[in-house]
């Protein structure tokens, strides 16, 4: 990504906050010109079990009150998949969710990771903070989110059990910001295989999401996908929220 023009794209885009997933680098391997960008605080985490695996990062103009590298569960936190920034009235998660395709054990790990994430999110809601979670969820939620649903219904990333968990996530009070504004838009994907000219033919998967709690639904100003940006096999997504956020209303 660095070699493909990340710095130029970042300078042109000037986001208030930028979240990265699948960084695949140790902290000391990140070039200084990328790590230390003027006007931003940057936070990074990497996998403790395996070098060059997973990893996430966040650049933010707004300094958080608290920084967490996970949910406080070692088996999940050790893989370097989570950076959580805590602000006065909201929490931001940048997460690279696990892929379940390697084995039944990894699928089980993925589902348990999802559950730990949901438990953590609900904890913050109960504390009166909104929750925004952006990242590679590694699952397409609905048939509209994948180019070839029938061919992939037995493939991890579109398994019924994975999609059912996203249903549970929504039932617990979280909304897909892109679908709030674009409920019926087809051919809106964020990842394409490197094989078979998939990107050229737009045979893709929508794996990257920006979910917010229902209390922020009316604050969504814009939620977009940017397939024209070709920094990796994923493309960026963006979310614009109106501030200040309303207080959490507990039922």
User: For residues 222 and 15, is the Cβ–Cβ distance under 8 A?
Assistant: no
User: What DSSP state is assigned to residue 14?
Assistant: -
pLDDT value at position 243? 95
Q: Could you give the CA distance from residue 213 to residue 148 in angstroms, rounded to a whole number?
A: 29
- Strands, sheet with 56-60, edge to edge from the N-terminal-most edge strand: 17-21, 56-60, 41-45
Q: Which residues are catalytic?
A: 136
- The secondary structure of 20-80, three-state, reads EECCCCCHHHCCHHHHCCCCCEEEEECCCCCCCCCCEEEEECCCCCEEECCCCCHHHHCCC
* pLDDT at position 30: 82
Average pLDDT, the chain: 95
Q: Are 135 and 19 in contact (CB under 8 A)?
A: yes
Per-residue pLDDT, 25: 82
pLDDT value, residue 246: 96
Q: pLDDT per residue over 103-137, tens digit each? A: 999 999 999 999 999 999 999 999 999 999 999 99
- pLDDT tens digits for 25-57? 887 788 888 888 999 999 999 998 788 789 999
How far apart are the C-alpha atoms of 11 and 233, rounded to whole Å?
Answer: 21
Angstrom distances, CA of residue 153 to CA of 6, 31, 147, 150, 184: 34, 40, 12, 5, 21
pLDDT (tens digit per residue) in 144-160: 999 999 999 999 999 99
- Please state the rounded mean pLDDT for residues 155-172: 98
CB 114 within 8 Å of CB 73? no
E strands, the chain, are 17-21, 41-45, 56-60, 66-68, 82-86, 90-96, 130-136, 174-176, 191-192, 204-205, 208-213, 220-225, 237-241
CA distance 61 to 41: 6
All domains of the chain in start order, with CATH: 2-241 (3.60.10.10)
pTM: 0.96
Closest-CA residue to 57 (of 73, 71, 41) = 41
The H-or-E segment that residue 168 falls in is helix 160-171
């Amino acid at each position: 990504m660095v070699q493909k023009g990340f710095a130029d794209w970042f300078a042109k885009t000037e986001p208030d906050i930028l979240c990265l997933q699948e960084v695949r680098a140790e902290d000391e391997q990140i070039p200084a010109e990328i790590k230390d960008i003027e006007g931003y605080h940057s936070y990074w985490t990497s996998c403790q079990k395996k070098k060059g695996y997973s990893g996430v990062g966040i650049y933010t103009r707004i300094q958080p009150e608290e920084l967490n590298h996970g949910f406080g569960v070692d088996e999940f936190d050790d893989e370097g998949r989570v950076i959580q920034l805590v602000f006065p009235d909201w929490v931001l998660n940048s997460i690279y969710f696990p892929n379940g395709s390697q084995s039944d054990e990894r699928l089980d790990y993925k589902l348990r990771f999802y559950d730990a994430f949901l438990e953590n999110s609900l904890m913050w809601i109960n504390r009166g903070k909104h929750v925004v979670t952006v990242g590679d969820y590694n699952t397409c939620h609905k048939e509209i989110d994948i180019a070839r649903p029938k061919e992939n219904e037995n493939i991890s990333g579109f398994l019924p059990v994975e999609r059912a968990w996203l249903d549970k996530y929504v039932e617990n009070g979280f909304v897909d910001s892109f679908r709030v504004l674009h409920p019926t838009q087809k051919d809106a994907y964020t990842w394409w295989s490197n094989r078979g000219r998939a990107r050229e033919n737009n045979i893709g998967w929508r794996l990257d999401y920006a979910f917010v709690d229902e209390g922020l639904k009316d604050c969504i100003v814009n939620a977009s996908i940017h397939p024209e940006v070709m920094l990796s096999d994923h493309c960026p997504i963006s979310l614009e929220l109106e501030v200040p956020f309303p207080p959490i209303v507990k039922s």
